[in-house]
Amino acid sequence: MPAAHLADADLRAALDGGRPLAVLPAGPPAVVDAARALLRPDEPLEPGTDLVVVTSGSTGSGRGVLLPAAALRASAAATHDRLGGPGSWLLALPVSAIAGLQVLCRAALAGRPATRLESGETLTGAVARMPAGGRRYTSMVPTQLRRALDAEPGALRAFDAVLVGGAAADPALLDRARAEGVAVVTTYGMTETAGGCVYDGRPLDGVGVRVTDGGIDLAGPTLALGYRGDPQATAAAFADGWFRTRDAGALAADGRLTVHGRLDDVVITGGVNVAPTAVEAALREHPDVADAVVLGRPDPEWGQRVVAAVVPSPGATPDLAALRPWVSERLGAPAAPRELHLVAAVPLLHTGKPDRRAVAASIPQGAH
């Protein structure tokens, strides 16, 4: 069903092993129709499936992820164990994305229906409607956190934990939130892991993490069964109890995971691997830059060149001559953008992640 029509009772029934539920992404009719086609309604549903979440991504077409109720329950239980126990949840994300859907799951399994942030409502107003007493939680993408810090940081302090995921959060943003007294917790996961399964770099109880050839693999009770109607993709991504995420990362000696971004997004310029997310974080620290997306484009001399699309800060006009040394000082010369485009805003997917394909399509070819 479309995410806008999802009722708590429908989700609870699926979690209890009742009628399976399919959740479609938000978007124009063409997007929803394409998602429906992925569900293959005339074919039998794969055994063990209780929830199908149709994803959309910045690097390819969507997929129907097959989730058993046991994975959703395991994720919710491990989350509450890590955060200090069940509590009341504020839903501030679309339920078409697994992060928003899991807020509803956690709330349902805790026996406390989630409070929904209404369109146009302030965070302060929504917090005032939450049940009194007990622990309070919410989940946000970094853009939401940044806006809430600007407008009403006091409302953020009302939560015992603010989960931040869906996209990489800049260290400066997290430091600012913590300085304001906000209990931020970074999360890493995806629909195939029933949502976030690594909190502040450490896996939830029961979750396995390994890094193979620079790529992150995940295991444990929160894994999906595979992809709807696509046994070939399922076999390629899920094998021997591990899910190959196609994300780049590294494990420290103490087991803490650092995520560097998508393996496919790495820009190889002059033989040097550059992580776009690191360049984006450096650019956002510049006073003239409000937001940024970085990607690679073919270059006859360097193989690929680093291209930055930036949203100017109010009243500012970012300049490539100023941004290149700014990035070089922090990440080294190869990471410095060789092409700059100014954009009014960064387009987002329904999950809150930057839509890199849309950014790449919108900016003209050629050096600036």
Give tens-digit pLDDT for 192-218: 999 999 999 999 999 999 999 889 999
Give tens-digit pLDDT for 317-350: 999 999 999 999 999 999 999 999 999 999 887 6
Give tens-digit pLDDT for 89-137: 999 998 888 999 999 999 999 999 999 999 899 999 999 999 988 999 9
Contacting residues for 252 by C-beta, under 8 A, at least 6 apart: 258
Please tell me whether residues 330 and 219 are part of one structural domain: no
Please tell me whether residues 82 and 169 are part of one structural domain: yes
pLDDT number for residue 130: 96
Please tell me whether residues 246 and 106 are part of one structural domain: yes
Q: Residue 207 domain-assigned?
A: yes
CB atoms within 10 A of CB 22: 20
**Mean pLDDT (whole number) for 2-22:** 77
Tell me the helix, strand and coil percentages in the chain, rounded to 5: 35, 30, 40
Please tell me whether residues 157 and 52 are part of one structural domain: yes
Q: Residue 367 domain-assigned?
A: no
Q: Which domain holds residue 127?
A: 3-259
Identify the CATH number of the domain in which residue 54 sits.
Answer: 3.40.50.12780
Q: Residue 78 domain-assigned?
A: yes
Q: Residue 139 domain-assigned?
A: yes
Please tell me whether residues 162 and 192 are part of one structural domain: yes
Please tell me whether residues 208 and 254 are part of one structural domain: yes
Whether the CB-CB separation of 100 and 139 falls below 8 Å is answered with yes
Identify the CATH number of the domain in which residue 322 sits.
Answer: 3.30.300.30
Q: Which of 259, 286, 319 is at the close of a domain?
A: 259
Q: How confident is the model at residue 58 (pLDDT cuts 50, 70, 90)?
A: very low
Domain count, the chain: 2
Interior angle at CA 94, CA 90 and CA 98, nearest 5 = 95
pLDDT number for residue 131: 93
Q: Which of 259, 282, 313 is at the close of a domain?
A: 259
What is this structure's pTM? Answer: 0.81
Please tell me whether residues 112 and 238 are part of one structural domain: yes
Strand 136-140 and strand 161-164: pairing?
parallel
DSSP letters spanning 210-260: EEETTEEEEESTT---EETT-HHHHHHHEETTEEEEEEEEEE-TTS-EEEE
Q: Residue 368 domain-assigned?
A: no
Is residue 3 scored above 60 in pLDDT? no
Q: Which residue has the tokens 């073919």?
A: 298
| Average model confidence (pLDDT) across the chain | 90
Please tell me whether residues 160 and 206 are part of one structural domain: yes
Please tell me whether residues 251 and 271 are part of one structural domain: no
Q: Which of 219, 235, 259 is at the close of a domain?
A: 259
pLDDT number for residue 347: 87
Query: Taking the mean position of all CA atoms in its chain, how far away is CA 363?
Result: 24
Whether the CB-CB separation of 352 and 141 falls below 8 Å is answered with yes
Q: How confident is the model at residue 33 (pLDDT cuts 50, 70, 90)?
A: confident
Contacting residues for 364 by C-beta, under 8 A, at least 6 apart: 341
Q: Residue 11 domain-assigned?
A: yes
**For residues 260 and 282, what is the distance between their CA atoms, to the nearest angstrom?**
14
Whether the CB-CB separation of 102 and 76 falls below 8 Å is answered with yes
Q: How confident is the model at residue 278 (pLDDT cuts 50, 70, 90)?
A: confident
Please tell me whether residues 124 and 18 are part of one structural domain: yes
Please tell me whether residues 244 and 272 are part of one structural domain: no
Please tell me whether residues 272 and 242 are part of one structural domain: no
Q: Residue 153 domain-assigned?
A: yes
Helices within the chain (DSSP H only): 8-15, 29-39, 69-83, 98-109, 123-129, 142-151, 153-156, 171-179, 231-237, 276-284, 320-331, 356-362
